Amino acid sequence: MSTTLGPVTLPNPVMTASGCAANGQELHRFFPVDELGAFVTKTVMAAPRSGRGTPRMAETASGMLNSIGLQGPGIEAFLENDLAWLASVGARVLVSIAGNTAAEFGEVAERLASSPAFAAVVGVEVNISCPNVANRGLVFACDPVSSDAVVRLVRESLPATTPIFAKLTPDVTDIVTIADAALGAGADGLTMINTLLGMVIDTDLLRPQLAGVTGGLSGPAVRPVAVRALWQVTAAMRDGRLPTAPLIGVGGVRTGRDALELVAAGASAVQVGTATFNDPSRPRRVVDELEAEIARHGFTRFADVVGIAHDRMVSP
């Protein structure tokens, strides 16, 4: 069930989702993280960051709202403690990076590339779309010009052989336009989708439940949105409006059948996020369940299923 993402081939297409399994050591207590296609780290920025105030998580009827705000140790501590450890256990690592400015994205990427453990990095996920930051101006993926500037600087700061994936938000009028900007600036692929901006009101206290007021909605509720985004961008690639590039699907995946839905829409890899909080072994179980689903449909190659729903449209 191997998959190819640009120049990189992974043994299977299942990853963690950024921010849902810290930086690996906690998850490694439940299964060896090198059994995943890749481990996606929590987004790292240049300096240590405390994130937003508490409370910053809230349950919803079919998912979760978080307003963590990109809390993290900063790139130096990440490289020394987290990336070095992931490399020591043989994990293939997709490093998620962010910055307060386009230049900071480039600085983080440049520092990452100089790490002694960089050989473990199979790609860089450029988080231009986190919705739960206090400064909404940091959501670069809402504007094609800003997306272009960030991706271009990251591309210039990494070896040409290191694939980069721009993580897009569905909270835009036309995600194909943003995808076009990111790919045109040098992204090798796209990750879709980030969480959606949402809000929960405490009906006993009649006030916002999160200290930051708004947060990012994830979980089963967002899967149809992820499928829609993957479908739209894949369709644009198929009809020549976008260059062909690998897509990573994320949003509400709990089972192999959930993952298959994203794959059939066009994803060459799938990330498991919110479900990990309830069942830390869930990403590993999705590997087996997805393989069983593909076999159940009579396929022997994972690649033959990617985007297959586009070939099976219902005739009017």
| 316 alpha carbon, distance to own chain's centre | 35
Q: Which of 130, 133, 227, 309 is catalytic?
A: 130
SS3 assignment, position 88? helix
Instruction: Answer for the pair 121, 154: CB distance below 8 angstroms, yes or no.
Output: no
SS3 assignment, position 4? strand
Instruction: Answer for the pair 267, 230: CB distance below 8 angstroms, yes or no.
Output: yes
Q: How many residues does the chain have?
A: 316
Catalytic-residue membership of 142: no
Alpha-carbon span 214 to 211, nearest angstrom: 8
Alpha-carbon span 102 to 130, nearest angstrom: 14
| DSSP calls for 212-223 | TSEEEEESGGGH
Residue among 148, 146, 156, 62 nearest 107 (CA): 156
What amino acid positions are annotated as catalytic residues?
130
